[in-house]
Structure 1
Amino acid sequence: MHQSRKITDDVYYVGGSDRRISRFENVFPVPDGIAYNSYLVLDEKTVLLDTVDLSVSRVFLENIEHLLNGRKLDYVIINHMECDHSCTLEELVLRYPDIQFIGNAKTFTFMKQFFKFPVDGHTIEVKEGSTLTTGKHTFSFHMAPMVHWPEVMMTYDTTEKIMFTSDAFGTFGALNGNIFVDELEDRILLLPEARRYYTNIVGKYGAQVQAVLKKIAPLDIRYICALHGPVWNNQEDIAWILDKYNKWSSYTPETEDIVIFYGSIYGNTENAVNVLSVKLAQLGVKNIKMYDVAETDISYLIAEAFRAKVLVFASSSYNAGVFDKMEYLLLDLKAHNIQNRSVMLIENGSWAPSAAKAMNEIISGMKNINLLNHNLSIKSQLNPEQEEQIDATAQVLKQALQTS
């Protein structure tokens, strides 16, 4: 029984959702599952845009068969060759042996690496600005290298004003019948998982995302069809998600907030930042967030660091360095190219505090980080004599929030 949905008169959603998966890419927790999106255009020539993960291949193939209703599949446009969007290509070849694959030169290099079926003779290579007319529809192709693989491209349906955006503008989370953003209660509910998806999957490649945003800006986009998450189907929502992507990809803080990340072994470092949070609240600072780096999955921590303006890293010293979970977070933030933040360091150590130095060594390799010159060092536990230091720390953090 098919589960397809109509987007426009002859453009259909044919993807599916996996709610059994626990970790996307075997890394990122997905408690609400993940959607693998694919789209079918029924024109004089039939066109499939991307395929799906094997986990939802059955419903995907049923959707296509139902909609084709005996017609052959003429073209498959491959915007992205990552396995969760390409691994059913071989099954399509078995079912529709005359299909032509449309992609760029790098697309077909990857196809030959992943598959053993004959690729040559079944390909149409496109470049920036190339077009394909299939009857009523004309598609134009826009290269988007390193968003987030080198072969990535986006396809624009000039007839229906649909931008098929590969992994860009996607979100974590399964789709539950409602495939359009305006069918959901409130788009703001999408924001945490859209942010977590972007920052962890694409976040390193901000410059490349900025280039693509400028490239597609002149286009009249009425739908954004990504490979994960819902279809963006009205102008207000499209403008909203484009603005979010502009902030995230330019590493501009999304909110004027403070986030405190702490690594505490016996609770003394945690107690110190709890005291600090109270001091901040008494100064009028709102929306303070605190995260135990040993308990919260790092993908959520990365997303929060991209969101907020001021970041505090408070860590126990460990093995003459820094608490290992804190080290992992800082190295991952560096790998994701985080920048344009104000940062404060707090360390704790009973006999030889070493965390601040170790954290500073990692942070010094990041771009445009304003390392606040007021690091706090604790020996074993926060002492009453250090209350003035805590007060001063809170004042410095508040000032950092107010500085443009």
Structure 2
Amino acid sequence: MITVVGVGADGWDGLSPDARRALEAAEVLMGGRRQLDLVPASVGGRGQLDLVPAAAAERVAWPSPLLPALPSLMETYAGREVCVLASGDPMFYGIGTTLVRLLGTANIRVMPHVSSLSLACARLGWPVEQVDVVSLVGRPPAALNAAILPGRRLVVLGAGRDSPSLVAGLATGLGYGPSPMTVLSDLGADSESVLTGTAETWAAQGPEPSALNAIALECVPAPGAEPLPRVPGLPDAAFEHDGQLTKREVRAVTLSRLAPLPGEMLWDVGAGAGSIAIEWMRSHPACAAVAIESRADRAAAIARNADRLGVPSLRIVEGRAPAALAGLPAPDAVFVGGGATVPGLLESCWAALRPGGRLVANAVTLESESVIAQWYARLGGDLVRMSVQRASPVGSFTGWRAAMPVTVWSVTRKDVP
């Protein structure tokens, strides 16, 4: 049993009696150097200093990088009374979540402190349930791009002194420069401080806060800013592409057939600009995707699109399917935007699908349609042909110009392989 104790910026004084007893009983204390320093060598007791038993415990500072070293570290100290220190609530973007995933719920006891989110919302008077949270600690800052939407309140967990300037720059670059911004530092400590401004003024020359900070942002778009909603079907201009792009209307229909659910995994095979994978991941923060693309220039563009649209964790595999599919995590959904005629491609995608998974394949050529028609005859599903026409000038008048029709085949795997 490993005990994980959340510690606030107020250190020992802010701990509950149960948390103090857990620390006093520890043979080994693990944590970041800042957390370890918050446990004193001694504390006052009736006018004199009494030694805290935890002071005699072996102190182990986290190595860097932590995650690869964690399993062997836990094995080294197995059988001893281990207490792990964490900032605030260990299960809120904290080490508690990692340890539960590694060792199982039955082997971890968590004693949470008040989280930085709760403290920030208490200072601001914001309802916690109405706030979106983004952590910059060990995560790509571009993830913030998907959360900045008109009228939303964000609490961004900073990863150093430069985090507020980083947040301000991202918000301003997206057209949200007028957004009020509050930086709360050292929450719960005697040194707690609050700095205010707007994203654009902070990005220009903001004051330097403490390294331990949370950034509160009220998203206010500047005039002319174009919000990018999470509903599938972003404008084609939102993506960098060379023409290899599932167009807006077809993309919206395709994603409705793929039907993303939180926590599910998508394969976007022949990803082009990555638009399907990116919009899949934008539908919910827990959705994951792999974009498989054979051309290096397009794979690079996919990475830029993913960063700009707030899903930097999109995995990009450069290679040709079906060979490039080997070793990938099993998908809950697969999209084949091109290459249906490649031998073995649809067979490999169908075989990899989890039971209940969805396969969607689009075709624009007669050859691809023929392959899809054969699969439809064999497996059933839903077969739709879409034709989109857009108004455009015809001399001094306006007429309709038709895009190439697209055939969309979708099917759900109901059997067990």
TM over 0.5: no
Task: Flag the structure with larger Rg.
Answer: 2
- TM-score, length basis structure 1: 0.32
TM-score by length of 2: 0.31
